[in-house]
Structure 1
């Protein structure tokens, strides 16, 4: 396990470079993101540990980041002042581009992995925006009418975009559809809809007493194009198939003791995902999809919720001493390496296989 201290700055997000197997970036904020500066760290893994390649200090907190998919040295950041900034590792301390249309904090940014000439952002102002790095203004605004914590393009389609928000819904937009009154909204899934049969809730809370709560994070499965995972304040991970939004979650994974801040599907295994939580742990899960039957066309026609599968915790990492805010998988090398950051001013690079039971 490797460690790097982001001294004076509390980690909020971490991402591995899609171009270099030894490079990652961390978005961090002073004073836990409440007030003060932000800092973007570009770090490299060396034979002597983790070494800083460059860092950029910003006037406001940084909450999220995304590597450019078209330029190996460029990184997007999401800022507390409502701006999105693009930094280049080969330039001096100032961003090479700046966008400012959101009216509140920008809480997530995500680069399109298929149509690599666009990216998206989500904000507490109740909107998701689509951008081009070559344009000074946004290409599209998608209203959600509630604080939107996470937005992401599908890794399987250039035009499918999803988000989760404080009103406990997953929204899926298809940019190929006419805008009309729906603003490209094609699917809206209530995350906390009543299940067909009782399922375990968070520890100490009966299943029937779990109310709708804020969804803080979600991620698309890298191998199953219609499956995504959500998590948030209720401490439970849920997976959904967007082909059958009325059927409720495919799988649930309760177990965290406090809110889940980040989930990330494995780039190597279709049934494995990581979570980072305010309970100061990272956990690795199996949604047990290898033990379940894939939804077929006849099943999609059924109405009403189906009974979800109970996923399984396969291990946890408890090295952090404060809220864990971000986690990401390494795309390169032997499967299982990941990185996590937290409010303890710590970045850890570790092997998931070492904590799995």
Structure 2
């Protein structure tokens, strides 16, 4: 395991570049959200034997999520506490390319998603395509479908999972999947009908959109709210979750005993989590303990 520590920087989100296996972006907020900092880390080798800070960009409010462009290896987008999206270009020393202001409250994460009960879709050229309303609570998470163009799912504090059609500008499906706030959702890369949700009730639930009367699987084990959940990119039924209980857990929802491994390598809330697209068994996470960690869990190494 390799660790990068940045004193005073509380990590909220981390993502590995889709272009470069050893390049990592981390959205953090010094002083618990009063200010924001985007850090880009570079590994010395593809396996990330060690890594160092190569870019650091400040923002005047908290940064709560980050996502890489899939068209340009230098471009990133972050979501801020002032309701704006920040577009950054690491190829330029000044970093900041453009600021988009479309939300009235904090942008909790970007895919795009926000705190003001709306989901906004933006295309290249920074044109607002649509603003979709329907949730009755904070939208904590959205994820584009990897299978169906112009379709995405959203998870909310109102306890519902919704599936949206951008072309139609409407909600196609609204399902009450938890009796608690849902903080994260993700789509399975191997089946367009399978999604997972993670909630404040400490449970993860896997859903088949063809029959949402009952979850395909329910996984318990976390002792506090689940902040982020991600499907593994290389195996259909494996996923990971991180939580306010300071742990990262790996699961196989097809098994009777789904918990594969629990890692307790942080001393504060674990908020960010991502799998490496280029190195099948490598994971990165970030925490309020001011560290970013890159590691290979034994349960994935054994596959």
Name the TM-score, length of structure 2 as normaliser.
Answer: 0.95
- Of the candidates 168, 176, 196, which is equivalent to residue 190 of structure 1? 176
* Alpha-carbon contact 1:84-1:106 (below 8 Å) kept: yes
* Alpha-carbon contact 1:252-1:311 (below 8 Å) kept: no
Residue 163 of structure 2: SS of its match in structure 1? strand
Q: Distance in 1 between matches of 2:108 and 2:214?
A: 27
Alpha-carbon spacing, 1:286–1:188, altered in 2? closer, same or farther (3 Å): same
* Alpha-carbon contact 1:68-1:74 (below 8 Å) kept: yes
Q: Distance in 1 between matches of 2:248 and 2:301?
A: 12
Query: Is 1:339 equivalent to 2:284 in the alignment?
Result: yes
Q: Which has the higher strand share?
A: 2
How far 1:311 sits from its partner (Å)? 5.5
How far 1:219 sits from its partner (Å)? 0.4
Query: Is 1:22 equivalent to 2:13 in the alignment?
Result: no
Query: Is 1:74 equivalent to 2:75 in the alignment?
Result: yes
* Alpha-carbon contact 1:284-1:356 (below 8 Å) kept: no
Q: Deviations over 1:137-167 (max 9, x none)?
A: 4110011232100011101122111100001
How far 1:244 sits from its partner (Å)? 1.7
2:122 equivalent in structure 1: 131
- Of the candidates 160, 164, 167, which is equivalent to residue 169 of structure 1? 160
* Alpha-carbon contact 1:317-1:355 (below 8 Å) kept: no
1:113 equivalent in structure 2: none
Q: CA RMSD in A?
A: 1.5
Query: Is 1:213 equivalent to 2:180 in the alignment?
Result: yes
How far 1:93 sits from its partner (Å)? 2.9
* Alpha-carbon contact 1:316-1:355 (below 8 Å) kept: no
Q: Distance in 1 between matches of 2:171 and 2:278?
A: 35
Q: Deviations over 1:73-125 (max 9, x none)?
A: 00000100000011011112341011001000001112xxxxxxxxxx21111
How far 1:133 sits from its partner (Å)? 2.8
Q: Distance in 2 between matches of 1:329 and 1:78?
A: 21
1:38 equivalent in structure 2: 36
Unaligned residue ranges in structure 2 (runs of 5+): none
* Alpha-carbon contact 1:340-1:349 (below 8 Å) kept: yes
How far 1:356 sits from its partner (Å)? 7.9
Q: Distance in 2 between matches of 1:93 and 1:319?
A: 35
Larger Rg: 1
* Alpha-carbon contact 1:79-1:107 (below 8 Å) kept: yes
Q: Distance in 2 between matches of 1:233 and 1:93?
A: 39
Q: Distance in 1 between matches of 2:190 and 2:6?
A: 34
Indicate the larger mover: 85-94 or 335-344: 85-94
Q: Distance in 1 between matches of 2:95 and 2:18?
A: 23
Q: Distance in 2 between matches of 1:156 and 1:325?
A: 27
Alpha-carbon spacing, 1:72–1:90, altered in 2? closer, same or farther (3 Å): same
Residue 96 of structure 2: SS of its match in structure 1? coil
Residue 298 of structure 2: SS of its match in structure 1? helix
Query: Is 1:318 equivalent to 2:264 in the alignment?
Result: yes
How far 1:37 sits from its partner (Å)? 1.2
Aligned length: 298
The ranges of structure 1 where at least 4 consecutive aligned residues each deviate by more than 4 angstroms after the TM superposition are: 354-357
How far 1:6 sits from its partner (Å)? 2.2
1:56 equivalent in structure 2: 57
Q: Distance in 2 between matches of 1:94 and 1:330?
A: 24
